[in-house]
Amino acid sequence: MFSSRRFFAVAFFLVLPLLCSAQTSLPASWVYSTYFGGSQFDGIGAITRDADGNIYATGTSASPDFPTTPGVYEANYPGPSGDSAVFVAKFSPDGALVWSTFLGPGSYEEYTIASAIQVDAHGNVYIAGIFQTPGFPTTKGLPDDGSVFIAKLNATGSELVYSMQVGPNAILSAPQLVLDSSANAFVTGSGEVPDCCNSVETGVIGSLGGGDDFWVEEINAAGTALPWSVQIGGDGEDDLNGFAIDAQNKLYLTGYTESNNFPHTPGALNQPGEGRTFVVKLDPTRAPGLSLVYSALVGNAGHAVGDYIEGRSIVVDGSGNSYVGTWTYNVGLFTGEWAFQPTAPTVPLGYVFELNNLGSSMINGSYVGGTVSYVDQVQVDQDGNIYIAGSTDSLGFIVTAYDDPAGGGGGYYVKLNRNFAAISSVAFSGVGGATAIDARGGLWVAGNTGGQLPTTPDAFQPLYQGNSDGFLLHTDFLGLCPSDGIEICSISPDQTAPELIQFVAQASEPEQAVNAALSIDDMAVYGEPAAQFDTWLGRSARTAYCNSFIAKHGRQKVQ
C-alpha cells in the first residue's frame, strides 16, 4: 500500500500496436539537455558543481572541431589526428558554455582518461586522470614521471596553476580526486608495487605485495609540495575506485580486494567472500602509516559460488554514514524494508548500500538494474536522498517514470529516498556515469552517447556531430502528471484491438513516499517501492476487466 501522502495520477488509453516505436520526445523532468563534442570520439568522464550552480566537466576528445572558447589555456586541438586530448569546460547553471579548453597534447594510449574534477571556493578547477604519452604539461618542482596526472587551472581556464604526474604504472583504476577545506588536493592511484607516490614520506597500511595495491597522495594548496601519502593493500589484488571526503576532512575509500589479509579494524564489518568491497576511512592529520580510522569488508554472508562485489563509488553524509555503489554477482545481499529492488533477478547487477559512521553495520541497501547493470557513481543530498548513475543493457531494468526517452539502453539514473525506495528511475540512450546534484533536489548527468539523445530548445549543441559525443542533461524529477486523478480518454470497442493502457503517477511529496500501488476495482494491478511510476497494461489480456472499470468508475483508485 502507498503511504498516506497524496498521490497525483493520470492514465491514457491509447490505440497502439503492442510493439511501439521509440519515444523521442523529451521526458517531462528534463529541464536541459545538450550534446557536447565534435566529429570524432568525445566523452565526458566527470562533472562537478560549484556553490553558484555552475557545472564543470572534463573528459577526452579526438575531434579537431571540438568546441573551445577564445582566451583559454589551449583553444586548438593539439593532435595528432585521431589522438585523444584532455578537455576541461565550464557551463553556467542554465547550460550555456562559459569556457572550454584542451589540456596537454593528444595521446594514442588506450588508457588516456580524465576521471575526476573538483572546484574550490575561488573557482579554480582541479582535474585528475591517466595520461601515459610523453608531453603532458607539468610545472616546476613537482614530479613529472608517472601515469596519473593532477592539474589545477585558474577560474577562467586560461592558466595552468600547477600540474604533475605520479605513479608510473598506476593504470588499474580511474584516479579520483577530492579537496579539503583548505584546498589541499588528494589523489588516488592503483597499480603494481612499488609504483606509488613521490612524496617525502609514504606510509604503509597492510602487508602489500599482492601485485596490485593502491595509494593516496596529498598536494598542498600552493602546488609546491607533496606532504602526505599512504599505500594500502594485502597479499592479493587491491584496486581503489571511489573516493570521498567529509566536512571534517576525513577520507573515505572504496574498491575491490581479493586479499585474505586486507587490513581490517576490530569492530568493523567483516563479511566473507572471495572478492569483496572494502570501505576504508583515513585521517590525514595523522602520520600516514597510522591514519587508518576503520576498514570494513563487504562480501557475501551466504558463501555463494562465484561471489564478487566491487565498490565503484562512495559518498558521505553529514552524520558520517557512507553510501557505496557497487556491481556484483552476489544474489543474497542485504536489502532494506522499502528497497526499490530487494532481490537480484539476474547478475551482474548494481547494488548500493549505506554503512553506519563506525563502519560496523549496514543500515540500508538495494539492488539497482536489469540483466547487466553497473553503478558508476553515487551521491547523497542534505535530506538523505541518494542519486545513482551507471550503465545498463536496459533489459529488465525497472523504470518508474518517463521510460526510455530515446528507445535504447546504455545509461540510467535513479533517485532513492532515505528509505531506499525510488523517487525516480530512468533509462536512456547514453552512458552516463558522471553526476552532480543541484541545490533543489535535481541532478546533472553527463557521459557519452551515440546520437539518440533528445535535446532541449536552449541546448548549447542541439545536434549530434558524429562517432560519439559527450552529453550533459539536467533533470528536476518533476512535471510527470498534469492533473489530479485519472481521466479516461478513449478505448476502442473492437475487442481484438491490440491496445495498451498507460498508467502514470507521481506522489506530491516524492521524497517521503515509500510504495506506489495501482488497484482497479479493488484488484491489485501494479506496485513498486517507488514514488512515481509509468507502466503499460495490455488491453487484449484485460478486455473484460477494462470494460468493467470504465462502466463502474470512469476514474481509477490509487492506494
User: pLDDT per position in the chain (559 positions), as tens?
Assistant: 333 334 444 443 333 222 222 234 687 789 999 999 999 999 999 999 999 999 999 999 999 999 999 999 999 999 999 999 999 999 999 999 999 999 999 999 878 999 999 999 999 999 999 999 989 999 998 999 889 999 999 999 999 999 999 988 888 889 999 999 999 999 999 987 666 775 556 899 999 987 789 999 999 999 999 999 999 999 999 999 999 999 999 999 999 999 999 999 999 999 988 899 999 999 999 999 999 999 999 998 665 556 899 999 999 999 999 999 999 999 889 999 999 999 988 888 999 999 999 999 999 999 998 888 899 999 999 999 999 999 988 677 888 876 555 555 689 999 999 999 999 998 888 887 899 999 999 999 999 998 888 999 999 999 999 899 999 999 998 876 655 554 444 555 665 666 666 677 788 778 888 888 777 667 777 788 888 877 776 654 444 444 444 443 333 333 3
Going across the sheet that includes 443-449, the strands are 30-36, 469-475, 443-449, 431-437
C-alpha grid cell for residue 402? Answer: 518517463
What residue ranges do the domains of the chain occupy?
11-475, 481-558
Opening angle at CA 433, ends 431 and 439, nearest 5: 125
- Specify the pLDDT at position 554: 38
Is this model's pTM higher than 0.85 or not?
A: yes
The rounded distance, in Å, linking the Cα atoms of 223 and 195 is 21
The rounded distance, in Å, linking the Cα atoms of 259 and 41 is 37
Alpha helix positions (H), 441-555: 543-552
- Specify the pLDDT at position 409: 63
Looking up cell 545498463 gives 392
Given a contact cutoff of 8 angstroms between Cβ atoms, the answer to whether 55 and 94 are in contact is no
Chain centroid, CA 412 distance in Å: 9
The rounded distance, in Å, linking the Cα atoms of 181 and 474 is 28
Q: Given this structure, which CATH class describes domain 11-475? A: mainly beta
- Specify the pLDDT at position 500: 66
